Amino acid sequence: MKSPVFKVGMVFADVVELRKALTAYSIRNRV
């Protein structure tokens, strides 16, 4: 998951996937 793109209504397989995506996103975009 290099640069996840978030869209309204996205569904993640589980909380772990969601956390990975959020972590990758925050690192990439320095949120």
Q: Is 29 helix (H, G, I), strand (E, B) or coil?
A: helix
Instruction: Report pLDDT digits (tens) over 1-31.
Output: 566 666 666 766 788 888 888 888 888 887 6
pLDDT of residue 24: 87
- Exposed / middle / buried, residue 26 (Cβ in 10 Å: 0-12, 13-18, 19+): exposed
pLDDT of residue 28: 83
E strand or H helix at 22, and its extent?
helix 15-29
pLDDT of residue 25: 84
Query: Is 4 in contact with 25 (CB distance < 8 Å)?
Result: yes
The pTM of the full predicted model, rounded to 2 decimals, is: 0.51
Q: How far apart are CA 31 and CA 3, in angstroms?
A: 14
